[in-house]
Structure formats: C-alpha cells, structure tokens
Amino acid sequence: MDAVLLKYANLPLGAAGELIMPEYWNVLDVAAEAVEQTAYPGTTEARKRYALALRRCAREMRDARGARDRSAGRAMWRARVTLELSLDDGTLGLWDSSQALVDSVGLKADGTSQGRGEVSEAAWGLIWDYAVVSRLRQVCADRFAGVADNREYKADQAGRILDDQGEPLVWTWDGIGSGILNGEAGVNMEAERALKEAMEETGATRILSLPNWADSYEESPEYRALCIKQAILCEGTTAVACEALADLLDRGFGIPRLIAAFNWGELDDEGFERLIWNLVSAAPGYSNVRWMTSTRAPGRGRDISATKTIVDPLSGSRHLHVVFQCKHWLSRSIAPDEVAKLVSQMELSARPVEELVIATSGRFSSDAEQWVEKHNCSRKVPRIDLWPNSHLESLIAQRRA
C-alpha cells in the first residue's frame, strides 16, 4: 500500500519510513489528488483540479499565520508536489517537466542533471523561491503588483541569483540533492531590513535556519523571529505564487515553454532595434508604432514610440504614450546613471511620455533595478519598465509558440 501511495505522491520508494504522521496524512492527500488529476492529463478537468489544489494551499498558508503553524509547511509541500505533477503531465507548460525545472537552476560539476527525486527539501525551497517565483513574477505581473520582493537575494526574471553587478551566479548540484552557489550574491536590502526589524521586535540575537518543533524552543526570541521572517516571505513566495500558478491553469495553459537562450551576438544594433519594433508592432493593445528619429546616433539607439490602449469595461479606454529605448549592450550591464539619463531625455519630448521601456540584449545591474523600483513606487512619470534579455527571450518564445 505504501508503494502505491508514494508512487502517486511522486516520492521515492522507502520514503514512508522517514515520514512523521502529519506528513503521512499529507501523502494520502496528495496521492488522492494525483490519482484524479493524472487520469486525464492536459485536459480542462485536470487543470481545474490542479488550480483548486493550489488555491487551497494558498488559503492554508495565509490561515497558518506564517511558520508558527505547522500546516503552512504542509501546504507548501503539497503546492510543490502539485506543481511537479502539472509539469510532468504537460498540463502546465512553464517548463517541459519537473526535471527541466531542476536543470534550469543548475547542473552538476560534470555537466549532468541532478535527479529530481534526490533534491533535498532545502534545495526545493531555493528552486521555488527563485526559479518558480521569478518566472511567475514575470508572466503574472498583475498578481504580484504591490507585493514586496523579500527574498534573501535579488534574482533576474529567469530566476538566476545575481551578484552586486547584476551578473548571474552559478548554482552547482553536488549529486546528492544539495549544491553550492559560485560566489557571494548581493543581498536584497529590503529583506535585510525586514529581518532586522523582526530581530529587534523579538529580542532575538540570531535567526534559526530551520524551525525546531520542540516545545522549549517555541517561545524563544529566536523562534519567534524565525516565524516573523517566514511570514514576511510567505505572501510573496508562497501564497501569491500558488494563486499565480492557479491563474495560469485557469486560463487554459497559454504560457510558452522555455526555450534555449537567444544568440544575441548574431544581431547588430539595427537588427536589435528592428526586433523590438516587430515585437511591439505584433503585440495586442499597441498601435501607431513608429521610429522617433530618422537616424541613430552612435551608441544611443533609436527611440520607438507607440500608443498603448488599456480597456476598462467600467471607465472606458485609456491611451498611453509609450517610448521604447533599445540598448544592444552585450559586454556590460545597464547602470542607474544610464537609466536616469534616459528618463531625463523624456522630458524633452514634444508629447508627454507616460511609460518608458528600456530594452536591452544584456542585463540591468541590481542598483539600476532598485533605482527603477524606487522611481515607480514614488509614482513619478514616466513609469519605467525594464526588459532584460531574459524577458525578450520569453516574448520571442511566445511568438514562436
């Protein structure tokens, strides 16, 4: 009987002996859902069942009041297993499979894959917080609107952890389910501030890495600080993420599978500008796409302007003037001073610019991302959107799908 349950709960044989009773009941729950969900993979019925399971997980996470209630951990575990099932039966196409999700984080030192079934719970936490949540923040931006990103490190839209210069660091699997990060990542200062406030509130001198369920620890300042830390993370990396996954399933899939990185070196400056032109021209809701200058100054890039129409069934349509700045920079990241310069140039426009999109074949430094986040939070005009190479690769994938 255990073998059957473990099979449908996506766990290796022999794991039953390591489960405590609450986890065993959780296996029963997931296995029962899996039998129904995988009976008709890829169908509307399967999508509904997965979506319902994820929304239930989100509700339980919010009701659990962070790490103080153990049911939050059980809901997180069920959400992860539901995600694996939906990927492996083709119902959700964010990745080709759960193994492809693991591979997207990194490979072993010899270039081979880390087996999905061997990934530790702690490593699954990293996969969820960075690969999964980063991808969802990209494709479900409306769901995450106003939700602070309190993850420990900054990450790009592909889920790669970044250093202080905005360059991705390499995660290397050790072959037994864990791994190491190549270098010291730049810390998310907002998360650091939240952690410091939690420690000051509780009088804790440190944060435990994992909760200890012994009664003698549950009233300690360190344990209470851990509860606060995990509650802060919960909204942006668990409950909202589960709801975003459910949204994708309810919409009937519609999200392209990830493709191999685009070879940006094959394009020259003009080719990159025309790529952005084609992406904007083909996008629903954009019209009057045109070049703003007849010639391109060296290293500056040509502006593309367009009218963005937002339809509101209650208030009517709004038309925004959007400018796209193209930066075909492969050798260095875009820094805050470059972003500030582009914003100041918009003040010279004959027509007010309500949104500025900076598209690059490279990346933005973490400082530039923080500068833009602060600018947008202060509701200054124009609102700025950053399109790094990972975002453009996603747009290209959607066109090819």
Of the pLDDT bands very low, low, confident and very high (cuts 50, 70, 90), residue 326 is: very high
CATH architecture of the region 264-400: 3-Layer(aba) Sandwich (3.40)
**Helix (H) or strand (E) run with residue 311 in it:** strand 303-312
Ranked by mean pLDDT, the top range of 128-142, 216-230, 268-282, 306-320 is: 268-282
Whole-number Å distance between alpha carbons of 103 and 299: 36
Taking the CA of residue 35 as centre, how many other CA atoms within 13 Å lie in the half-sphere pointing to its CB?
A: 8
Among 17-21, 125-129, 295-299, which is the least confidently predicted range?
A: 295-299
pLDDT digits over 185-228, tens only? 555 666 666 666 766 676 655 544 444 444 445 566 666 666 66
> With pLDDT > 90 as the criterion, what percentage of the chain qualifies?
16
pTM of the model: 0.51
Backbone angles phi, psi at 24, to 5 degrees: -65, -40
* CB neighbour burial string for 41-74, b if at least 16 within 10 angstroms, e if fewer: eeeeebbebbbbbbbbbbebbbebebbbeeebbb
Apex 73 CA angle, 70 and 77, nearest 5: 145
Q: What is the mean pLDDT of residues 385-392?
A: 87
Of the pLDDT bands very low, low, confident and very high (cuts 50, 70, 90), residue 67 is: very low
Whole-number Å distance between alpha carbons of 266 and 89: 36
The residue ranges of every structural domain in the chain are 38-250, 264-400
Q: For the residues of 93-110, what is the DSSP string, one character each?
A: -SSSSHHHHHHHH--BTT
